[in-house]
Homo-oligomer: A and B are copies of this chain.
Amino acid sequence: MNTHFEGLSSPRKMKRSDQIVEAVKRWVVVKDIQPGDRLPNEKALMELFECSKGTVREALKALEVQGLIRLKTGPKGGATLAQVPYPLASQLLRNYLHFQHPTGPDIYRLRKLVEPELAALVVGRLTPEDLQLMEELTERCAQAPADFEERLEQRIAELDFHNLLAERCPDPLLAFIGRFLNDLIKDLVIFQKVHLPEQVEFSQENLDYHRRLLKAYRAEDEAEVRDLMYRHMLSAEKFNKELQGQLTGSLLSQGESQLPG
């Protein structure tokens, strides 16, 4: 993995601030620091590493950019260990994928694999509030959209339906991939909102699948959920293929989250 072993084995020629970053990470792991715990303040770090304030700040900044610490101002402020927030993780992964140009078919290929399994794992884990919210999101797509804006809102509501399932998924890997795919699709939808044809059939099929999924979740019928979700994804893939030619450009070349423009 890390091909350049910057950590323990080879101190080598590293910038001072990076040495501090590595040392702090190491310290966090060996001491098993939990989120919310405080790191030493700037002055202590200055003395500990025998360097200036600017160097310490640069190291802390690097940790903050990676989402590993949060910097708060005032007394009792300073650096506290943090969980990496999902939006940041999503953004960083999209930065990696930016020059790899994933295509629409790529996205739906993965979705077809992941969503059915994810959906099945959620069976029996939805609260009445969750089910109510899902019903609201579903029925928000029941009426024919009046304009571009409304059609866009309906597509977002459809994605939020899937996002809720992902957030309730007990498998963190599938949960992340589910949310990440929804992010990619949301960008795709927003990007092509202008030249997005009506696709009435698509909206109708989606609405139908979401209603039947909701019913299956209420009955806690795992096999039915898995089967419905798979066919839902096949349907979505089919309609995406109809739009193939229109998204030849960089899929990810917009949206404020990746290489925010």
Interface residues of A (CB under 8 A from B): 1-9, 22, 25-30, 32, 35, 54, 58, 61-62, 65-68, 83-84, 86-93, 95-102, 106-107, 109-110, 113-114, 117, 163, 171-174, 176-177, 179, 182-183, 186-187, 253-257, 259-261
| Residues of B contacting A90 in the complex (Cβ-Cβ under 8 angstroms) | 1
A87 touches B2 (CB 8 A): yes
Interchain CB contact (< 8 A) of A257 among B2, B88, B163, B255: B2
Assuming the contacts A61-B61, A106-B171, asked whether A2 and B54 have C-beta atoms less than 8 A apart, the reply is: no
- Interface secondary structure of A, over-half rule: helix
Q: Beyond the given A65-B66, A109-B171, A109-B173, could you list 4 further A-B residue pairs with CB under 8 A, ordered by the A residue number?
A: A2-B256, A6-B256, A25-B259, A89-B95
Query: Looking at A3, A28, A92, A100, which has the most chain B CB atoms within 10 Å of its CB?
Result: A92
Please tell me which one of the listed residues B3, B32, B259 contacts residue A87 in the complex, with CB atoms under 8 A apart. Answer: B3
Q: Which residues of B contact A1 (CB under 8 A)?
A: 87, 90-91, 163, 179, 182-183, 186-187, 255, 257
Which 10 pairs across A and B sit closest by C-beta, in order of nearness? A7-B256, A26-B261, A29-B261, A89-B96, A100-B172, A84-B96, A7-B260, A92-B92, A2-B257, A65-B65
Hey, which chain B residues are within 8 Å of A257, CB to CB?
1-2, 7
Contacts of A253 in B (CB 8 A): 29, 32
CA distance A26 to B91 in the complex (A): 14
A25 touches B172 (CB 8 A): no
Copy number of this protein in the oligomer? Answer: 2
Contact A35 B99 (CB under 8 A): yes
Find out whether the CB atom of A83 lies under 8 angstroms from the CB atom of B66.
Answer: no
Residue among B68, B182, B183, B259 making CB contact with A28, cutoff 8 Å: B259
Give every chain B residue within 8 A of A177 (Cβ-Cβ): 110, 177
The CA of A255 and the CA of B88, in the complex, are separated in Å by 22
Give the distance in Å from the alpha carbon of A136 to the alpha carbon of B8 in the complex. 30
**In the complex, chain B residues whose CB is within 8 Å of the CB of A35:** 99
- Given A29-B261, A58-B61; A95-B67 close (CB under 8 Å): yes
Please measure, in the bound complex, the distance between the C-alpha atom of A61 and the C-alpha atom of B28, giving whole angstroms.
22
Q: Which residues of the partner chain B approach A186 to less than 8 Å between Cβ atoms?
A: 1
CA distance A157 to B86 in the complex (A): 33
